Structure 1
Amino acid sequence: MKKKYRIHVALICLSVTLFAFTVNAKKSNDPEKDKLLLELLMFVIKKEHYNPAAVNDNFSKGVYKEYIEALDPSKRFFLQSDINEFSKFELVLDDQLTNKDLTFFNLTYDRLMLRMEEGNKIFKEILSSPFDYKTDESFNVDYDKAPYAKSNTELKDKWRKQIKLSVLSSFTDKKKTEEDKKLKDPAYVVKSDAMLEKETRENSIKALNDSFGFMNELKREDWFTLYINSMMSQFDPHTTYFASEEKEKFDVSISGKFEGIGAQLQKKNDYIEVSELISGGPAWRGKQLEKGDLIIKVAQSNGVAVDIAGLRLADVIKKIKGPKGSEVRLTVKKTDGTIQIISIIRDIVEIEETYVKSSVVEKNGLKYGVIYLPKFYIDFENKDGKGRDAAKDIAKEIDRLKETGIKGIVLDVRDDGGGSLGAVVNIAGLFIEEGPIVQVKSTVKKEILYDTDKKIKWDGPLVIMVNEFSASASEILAAAIQDYKRGIIIGSKQTYGKGTVQRVIDLNQYVKNSSFGDFGALKTTIQKFYRINGGSTQLEGVSSDVVMPDRYAYLKMGERDDAHALPWDKIDPAPYIVWDSKFDQAITNSKQRIEKNVQFQLIEENAKWIDSRSNENTYSLNIDKFKAAQNQIEAAAKKFKPIIDYRNNLKFNSLPYELEGFVNDPVLKEKRDRWHESLAKDIYVEEALNVLDDLQPKSIVKTSIPIDKKGKLVKR
């Protein structure tokens, strides 16, 4: 395990102490708390942000645009008259921020609550009677370009068309399902159009009731957080304010664990339904709470049971979660109608989907390991070193894979959005002897983060799989492996392009003598990181050695497509020693295979088709024209069905230690079976294994090829 490296910054979780704001006691939800929060945020931004944007009229325009779009993205609530009123503030929000003036927020919040109440009545009225599907009319779903309604009559018509399009789509799907059933079973009695149409409208009413129910659960402070983050995003895409609940979710996403009962919950009417039990958690171990149970009361230890009917899901979760070792008693209604009181002792719950998993596969008589890393997680709270750590877990998986006799490793960081900077330094260090992994630069200094442990956990053939959503720590890892010529990077043309480091700062440390409650935290950009060759991954990402066609390659989804992203730049390289790796032939072979592969050709054609359809936003609301258009799309899409049906004829298996655990954990077995099934359909993994085949027997030989600070070979 690589422990001896020099590192003084982390992607998450550190604190700063400058001075404290002193406030008098105030009631919660007081506007004074909002004003203090704005003051705190701007103070921290100015002190900590890598390059804070000027708070001026341009800043104000950006906040205004983003906030209004976030409040009403489909333009189904506000009227043009509302926007005209709001627009008077477009160039003064910077001044309001400086003066801690909440006039604009209060105006928009009150108006939105009014318009939502009106919208709640509108959709019920619209869905109370059948639609006329013979009318020749259409609806454009490009909401960015759509105008706001000029009157209530026009707004109701917009609602009608939006809902009609949704119902029409579901209605035609139901009709098709009925026709298919009749074809399979001539005795089947097809439901009438009137019955199907009624069912579809009833489903739409339920869906919209749920949607409005969710919005009605949001408190004023939730909307204020939205307003704040419209400001924070002007500094860069990754500067974000976390209210206390969101901070908890962020911590869980990074550590992969929390303290509670280990159940996933969802709102069902007035009560809370258990949607899933987390394997290994206390509820799962207790075997009393089951999927589908309705929670109707919650009690703490010997306390009084509280009826949770009508409470927000977030508030119920707060009551159920609690510290390890404490007791919670749930009154539940079972699926058979019986009522039970279930006692559960809370414990540490680990979210298995957060953690590393591996599989072994045989190809051409050789065994290879596939390691999937969903996130560069680390448990900062656990000071004794026993907490989960992505680097430690990967090291364990490598040892286990080596015991099976593998000849190569595919490390899959597709869709991995990053995590701990320390974890990525340690993970890269598993594959090299020693040396720099990444350079980090703040406004005042530059630092090089090293792996100093000469032990190599795996020195054999290595492939890193990436895609356009591999970001941050994933890009550091891919860049380091590429710069050292230690492995081959395959995947999308380039990765996401996030080359910045964030710190999460607890705002409560600045406030003394306050009864306002929790002020939450600010995640803000404090540094930029650079490859050891000196280049930044910001905007440009990491370019794959082998580019594989991607269905979404032409859509704009990367950091480079965000207007507030920090710019690309470069610094001097760090001295490092590359591996004398014979990759050229393997890369050439892979490119030739991809070029000739019919499946990859189809994926490339599909990508262009998806891109061409991205501008088709107008749908007919006439059922005959709608069906004709959908049939045309389905006919075109049939050509791409082999992409979904593809199988690579490889068999992926769990390692022996997991197979033993399946005996007592059928849920984990089911999850692994699903993963292995997806791997067996994955042409990208198949090509990664082909590359490992091309790297056999031994083609990586460590030699001394030093690179100096100017990126040039050192003559000897």
Structure 2
Amino acid sequence: MRLSTRYLVPLIALFACSSPTTSTPAINSSAGPAGTSVSSPSSLPELAADPREPFLAKAVASLLSEDHLLQRKIDDQVSREAFPKYLEQLDGGKLFLLKEHVAALEADIDHLDDQIEAGDLVLARRGAALLAKRREVVAKVVADVLSKPFDFTKAETLETDAEKRTYAATEDELRDRWRAVLKLQVLERVEQLEELSDALAKKKPTDEDAPARPPEEIPPTFEGKEAKARKELAVRFETRFTRWKDMEPLEPAEMFLNAVASVYDPHTQYLAPAEKENFDIQISGTLEGIGAALGEEDHFIVVRELIPGGASWQQGKLEAGDLILAVAQQGEQPVDITDMPIDKVVKLIRGPKDTTVTLTVKKPDGRVETISIKRDVIKIEASYARGAVLNLGKGHEPMGYIYLPGFYGDTRGASKAPERNATDDVRKLLEVFQKRKLNGVIIDLRGNGGGLLGHARDITGLFIETGPVVQAHAADKKVEVLEDTDPGVAYNGQVVVMVDRFSASASEILAGALQDYQRAIIVGTGPTHGKGTVQALVDLDKLRANPQAASAADSLGVLKLTIQQYFRVDGESTQWRGVVPDVVLPDPASYVDSGERSLFHSIPWSSIAPQPYKVSKHSWTAAQLAEASKKRIDSQPVFKKVEAFSKALKARRDDTVVDLKRDDWVAERKRNKAELDTLDPKLSETKPRVEVTPLEESAAEKTAPKTAGDKNVKKRIDKWREELGRDPWVEESLLVLEDMKKLK
């Protein structure tokens, strides 16, 4: 089955399809009651097969083998690599299955390839049925454990990292693990109630940030708070176990197929019909309500990024990397969202403008915080390129600055009024800088996750005369070259491009091209994200003999398939390695595992033949600039604090064993807080060192239609200006620009 472009064109329309009616497939089982011993695979319970399963499995198998970039056949080795991933999806926390259950499932470790090619996903049906039965067992354990007070005077610990745990050997061992897990959750909730009591005592009822919970609801004694925490937790778990019984028909197949797909690369993924809307949410990059892009990480919902100008961005406490544990509407109890589908989480978070939603989040360093956010409509103006003139003061000259949050553009077709696009906005800002005869400009791509490839090419063309910008090749090894054919140059001064580990995709194409042409110096906190692959969405219904006959109820879903890889003009890929900065600055997020390098089975770096291109003329060298920058960084107290703070957060993240004795837990928490408070560089409290003059009503902004939300734009610009003025990474980038001019 060769992939045809006719399957790729109409895929956006798929997101409007309805999901099939939710139902729980019947379980066929010859085994004993849930929780009894399992001696062989044949004794495992098994769900009835969904009628779509045979065609679905064979279609996915064919696409993976024939049309994926790697052209890798599904065989026993793929099966063996996929099985651990399947177990991780089934019970990654090691909180349901026993070792004997894993051993029984493991009998199929060499047969995943046979099952997918035969269209008979036996392991998927057995695993799902077994998990359903085990959840029934654990539900009773949880209810029983939470019915009795915990002993917080007992010295014991809990390993919180599931990867460091093994599957329990007995029911008693599993029960004890659950007891420890629940004990920690109750302890955390009790401390939250303690902090809430203190907050209520200090705040007036009219305070905007005052907690919604009335003070009379918080018991005055520790014993009362502990009982309340257990009761609330019991209700949440009861709800969660009930929700788990509501299984989508293709959910077992989805887990199985994605375990196999993950062996090919982290971005190839099967999306069942019920997940289409979820994917649409993630790929759009925005969520109305709080202005955050969310994703799924193991059993949790994680904040991927904040949308500039959105409610969360303005509020300032929610951050990328935060795990959302619970969501509460104004005046209501929190709803535990662990293991909740992302579409249901979105529905909880969304709401009318000016209403408040409260999120319980876990920070990357392990802290649990409660954050209240007033919902707002995301102002698209804040997602456009914005310019400013920066100056370090006396003895320095002004430089240009462009913040580019994404590579946006017109995707609505010729029949619609044209939208603003990144290339035109950046060009107009550069023309302002050129007219003012500014000798240097910073292009800030930090946090820029990419966007439209054409604009990465076109913005590169604003700095070079003509030439290739990026190469792409598919499994057939045919090379496609995207070139800048416009000889015009919008700006001819010195250029610094700022990047970080969250600069990805189109950002890496722009930064890599300007680095190859030696048209700019790349300044960053380390290698960029390293995503150098292209995915296509394959409508699996289109592969049927009679696709028109397919209804929403029996839809097969879509396969997100990696089909191409990008290469720089020098022949090197941005995949895995990313773009390595010429000048490296301390990384405030070095404790966070991110980027393609941290992902399971990411496609390795490779290279192809370079394209002919003409390097820009200059007298500086990257080595000279890096050496001068390092001398300044080593003498800057703020960067020393950034490094120390990041190391402390990493140490806390790596220390995954938690004390469950209350006195020890509280003491450790206070020590950690005191340490972080001491090391925190507190950039928001520092005096601005950079003079920032935003280009208000600049050429790029004059083309933007005015909206009713314009009065809030000034507020965001003011905040942006203040943060920019305190940004030591921007300050150092300005000094690098000055070095480039001196060496010219």
**What displacement does 1:435 show?**
0.9
Matched residues in 2 for 1:421 and 1:150: separation?
52
Q: 1:571 — aligned with what?
A: 608
Say if 2:379 and 2:709, in contact at 8 Å, map to a contact too. no
Q: After superposition, give the CA deviation of every residue in 1:135-182 in whole Å (9 maximum; x if it has no partner).
A: 122111121131222333332221121121122234345546767888
Q: 1:684 — aligned with what?
A: 729
Q: 2:486 — aligned with what?
A: 453
1:628 and 2:667 correspond: yes
Using CA pairs under 8 Å that are at least 6 residues apart, name the structure with larger relative contact order, 1 or 2: 1
Say if 1:507 and 1:521, in contact at 8 Å, map to a contact too. yes
Amino acid across the alignment from 1:467: D
Q: 2:570 — aligned with what?
A: 533
Amino acid across the alignment from 1:358: R
Q: After superposition, give the CA deviation of every residue in 1:599-622 in whole Å (9 maximum; x if it has no partner).
A: 212222333334444432211211
Say if 2:387 and 2:694, in contact at 8 Å, map to a contact too. yes
1:92 and 2:89 correspond: no
Q: After superposition, give the CA deviation of every residue in 1:176-203 in whole Å (9 maximum; x if it has no partner).
A: 6767888999xx9994323433444455
Higher mean C-alpha deviation, range 490-499 or range 217-226: 217-226
Q: 2:531 — aligned with what?
A: 498
Q: After superposition, give the CA deviation of every residue in 1:109-151 in whole Å (9 maximum; x if it has no partner).
A: 1222233344444434433343210012211112113122233
Say if 1:438 and 1:480, in contact at 8 Å, map to a contact too. yes
1:362 and 2:398 correspond: no
Q: 1:382 — aligned with what?
A: 413
Q: Of the candidates 420, 423, 429, which is equivalent to residue 461 of structure 2?
A: 429
Matched residues in 2 for 1:364 and 1:471: separation?
29
Say if 2:392 and 2:691, in contact at 8 Å, map to a contact too. no
Amino acid across the alignment from 2:123: F
**What displacement does 1:93 show?**
0.8
What 5-or-longer segments of structure 2 have no aligned partner?
A: 12-19, 24-48, 205-214, 295-305, 311-327, 332-339, 357-376
**What displacement does 1:561 show?**
3.8
Q: 2:403 — aligned with what?
A: 372
Question: What is the aligned-residue identity percentage?
Answer: 32
Say if 2:95 and 2:174, in contact at 8 Å, map to a contact too. yes
**What displacement does 1:104 show?**
1.0
Higher mean C-alpha deviation, range 148-157 or range 444-453: 148-157
1:615-654 matches, cutoff 5 A: 615-643=654-682, 645=684, 647=686, 649=688, 650=690, 652=692
Say if 2:150 and 2:183, in contact at 8 Å, map to a contact too. yes
Matched residues in 2 for 1:277 and 1:558: separation?
19
1:473 and 2:492 correspond: no
SS in 2 for 1:579: coil
Say if 2:527 and 2:578, in contact at 8 Å, map to a contact too. yes
Structure 1 residues 675 and 645, CA gap change in structure 2 (3 angstroms): closer
Structure 1 residues 27 and 147, CA gap change in structure 2 (3 angstroms): closer
Amino acid across the alignment from 2:519: R
**What displacement does 1:42 show?**
2.2
Higher mean C-alpha deviation, range 487-496 or range 380-389: 380-389
Say if 1:539 and 1:559, in contact at 8 Å, map to a contact too. yes
**What displacement does 1:477 show?**
1.4
Say if 1:648 and 1:681, in contact at 8 Å, map to a contact too. yes
Q: Of the candidates 540, 550, 556, which is equivalent to residue 514 of structure 1?
A: 550
**What displacement does 1:240 show?**
1.9
Matched residues in 2 for 1:223 and 1:696: separation?
61
Say if 2:390 and 2:693, in contact at 8 Å, map to a contact too. no
**What displacement does 1:480 show?**
0.5
Structure 1 residues 377 and 589, CA gap change in structure 2 (3 angstroms): same
Matched residues in 2 for 1:244 and 1:682: separation?
45
Matched residues in 1 for 2:481 and 2:706: separation?
41
Q: After superposition, give the CA deviation of every residue in 1:588-608 in whole Å (9 maximum; x if it has no partner).
A: 432221121112122223333
Q: 1:604 — aligned with what?
A: 643
Say if 1:441 and 1:529, in contact at 8 Å, map to a contact too. yes
Matched residues in 1 for 2:443 and 2:275: separation?
30
Matched residues in 1 for 2:432 and 2:477: separation?
43
Amino acid across the alignment from 1:34: E
Q: 1:234 — aligned with what?
A: 263
Structure 1 residues 638 and 418, CA gap change in structure 2 (3 angstroms): same
Q: 2:334 — aligned with what?
A: none
What 5-or-longer segments of structure 1 have no aligned partner?
A: 1-10, 18-25, 267-275, 281-290, 295-310, 322-329, 336-348, 701-716
Say if 2:525 and 2:584, in contact at 8 Å, map to a contact too. yes
Q: 2:522 — aligned with what?
A: 489
Say if 1:377 and 1:420, in contact at 8 Å, map to a contact too. yes
Matched residues in 1 for 2:514 and 2:424: separation?
18
Amino acid across the alignment from 1:684: W
Amino acid across the alignment from 2:562: T
Structure 1 residues 372 and 67, CA gap change in structure 2 (3 angstroms): farther
Matched residues in 2 for 1:666 and 1:647: separation?
27
Q: Of the candidates 583, 593, 596, which is equivalent to residue 546 of structure 1?
A: 583
SS in 2 for 1:642: coil
1:656 and 2:696 correspond: yes
Higher mean C-alpha deviation, range 239-248 or range 654-663: 654-663
TM-score normalised per structure 2 = 0.72
Say if 1:12 and 1:504, in contact at 8 Å, map to a contact too. no
Structure 1 residues 502 and 633, CA gap change in structure 2 (3 angstroms): same
SS in 2 for 1:639: helix
Say if 2:52 and 2:554, in contact at 8 Å, map to a contact too. no
Amino acid across the alignment from 2:731: E
**What displacement does 1:500 show?**
2.2
Matched residues in 1 for 2:438 and 2:138: separation?
60
SS in 1 for 2:614: strand
Q: After superposition, give the CA deviation of every residue in 1:430-456 in whole Å (9 maximum; x if it has no partner).
A: 222211111222323123210111122
SS in 2 for 1:438: strand
Amino acid across the alignment from 2:53: D
**What displacement does 1:546 show?**
0.8
Say if 1:360 and 1:367, in contact at 8 Å, map to a contact too. no
Q: After superposition, give the CA deviation of every residue in 1:330-370 in whole Å (9 maximum; x if it has no partner).
A: 999x99xxxxxxxxxxxxx9873993342425323555444
Higher mean C-alpha deviation, range 583-592 or range 438-447: 583-592
**What displacement does 1:578 show?**
1.3
Amino acid across the alignment from 2:173: E
SS in 2 for 1:576: coil
Structure 1 residues 642 and 31, CA gap change in structure 2 (3 angstroms): same
SS in 1 for 2:52: helix
Q: 1:73 — aligned with what?
A: 92
SS in 2 for 1:581: coil
Aligned pairs, how many? 622
Higher mean C-alpha deviation, range 514-523 or range 57-66: 514-523
